[in-house]
Structure 1
Amino acid sequence: MENQLIPDEIIMNKIYYIRGQKVMLDKDLAELYGTETKKLKQQVNRNLNRFPKHYMFELTKEENEILRSQNLNSGKGEHSKYLPFVFSEHGILMLSNVLKSESAVRVSIRIIDVFVKLREVYAEQTEVWLAIEKIKSKLDNQDKNMEIVFRYLDELIDKKHQPQQRKRIGYKPDDV
């Protein structure tokens, strides 16, 4: 696939959150790079020293089952006897060096751009949530203050409706 033809949405739909990281599957990357998953994995295996665990790791059977159950479009060849590799953003950068083609470099840059956009969107969302929480806090304080004001008003109204005995003014005693 030419990188200009890959919409952000297609790349975003191929990004998963596994073990606390945003990652992409080997088969999805192979498709984007225009190669076979088998060839991609061969190149990675030949260059394992370039892929520490936070760049690339193999899914466990359980993780793979969960991922397959979440994907409704399980197609032919997805029931491989080999567990998939997943690559973090840094692993994807390293893949472009290992695959050594102009296309792989362009596609990797495109994918990294999408990762950066996702980070920016997440940061913006976080700022919005923080602002909302700040507003909620102010509203809670205002609610408490309004509650106090209404309590005082109720007390004043109660006092107003209570019959009050007035003291007489003058020289005559009250009991007359």
Structure 2
Amino acid sequence: MELLNDEIKTKIYEIRDTKVMLDSDLAKLYQVETKRINEAVKNNIDKFPSDFVFYLTKDEEENLKSKFSTSSWGGRRKSIKAFTEQGVYMLATILKSKIATEVTINIMRTFTKMREFALNYKDVVIELQNMKEELKSTKENGEQNSHHIKTAFELLSQILDDTTSTDKNLIGFRPDKKG
């Protein structure tokens, strides 16, 4: 089994303006049952303040489920827990398995890469927003608008080139293959 950066990225959601991972997704990654995650938190509640883990509201759960065409959650009895980056790390220290350690290292690297990406391209996003505002105010000037659009596409192409040239070997979890 190979666990790559892109696979983990799909399990990181933004809820309440915070990047989080859900208990069920972490359980799959750590190869344990979700109830094992919940027991670990319950037995070590002092290690999980509200900025490490929180329960999703019904509205947040519905909003999240609506983003998927089919739900595999099938009627959970307990509320969904969302773990922040710090909560994921704390969970790994409690689970204390080799898989939990290796997966957490990969998750931390993914969070770091996402943060670096956001910081690196913050200026590009600001520039695109400024261009959008200029386009709104200069609708009559077609030539200037064409120039702005061309510049925007050049910036987006640069971002795509940068992201595809990332060394994927640095990020990933590959258990030793035996046999």
Q: TM-score under structure 2 normalisation?
A: 0.69
Seen in structure 2, the aligned counterparts of structure 1 residues 42 and 128 have a Cα distance that, compared at 3 Å, is same
Residue 34 of structure 1 pairs with residue 31 of structure 2: yes
Counterpart code for 1:113? R
Deviation at 1:40, TM superposition (A): 1.0
SS at match of 2:82: strand
Which of the pair has the greater relative contact order for Cα pairs under 8 Å at 6+ separation? 2
For structure 1, the residue ranges without an aligned partner over 5 or more in a row are: 141-176
| Structure 2 counterpart of 1:80 | 76
Give the 4+ runs in structure 1 shifted more than 4 A. 131-138
Residue 58 of structure 1 pairs with residue 84 of structure 2: no
CA distance in 1, matches of 2:22, 2:98: 21
From 8, 13, 20, the counterpart of 1:23: 20
Percentage of matched positions with identical amino acids: 38
SS at match of 2:101: helix
| Structure 1 counterpart of 2:46 | 49
SS at match of 1:70: coil
For structure 2, the residue ranges without an aligned partner over 5 or more in a row are: 138-179
From 95, 113, 135, the counterpart of 1:117: 113
Deviation at 1:131, TM superposition (A): 4.8
Residue 91 of structure 1 pairs with residue 87 of structure 2: yes
Deviations 1:22-72 (A, max 9, x none): 000000000000000011111111011101101000111111111111122
Counterpart code for 2:28? E
| Structure 2 counterpart of 1:174 | none
Deviations 1:91-123 (A, max 9, x none): 000011111112101111100100000011111
CA distance in 2, matches of 1:60, 1:136: 35
Residue 8 of structure 1 pairs with residue 5 of structure 2: yes
CA distance in 2, matches of 1:100, 1:122: 31
CA distance in 2, matches of 1:63, 1:41: 19
Q: Aligned-pair RMSD on alpha carbons?
A: 2.5
Total equivalences in the alignment: 139
Q: Which protein is bigger by CA-based radius of gyration?
A: 1
Seen in structure 2, the aligned counterparts of structure 1 residues 60 and 120 have a Cα distance that, compared at 3 Å, is same
Deviation at 1:81, TM superposition (A): 1.4
| Structure 1 counterpart of 2:176 | none
Q: TM-score under structure 1 normalisation?
A: 0.70
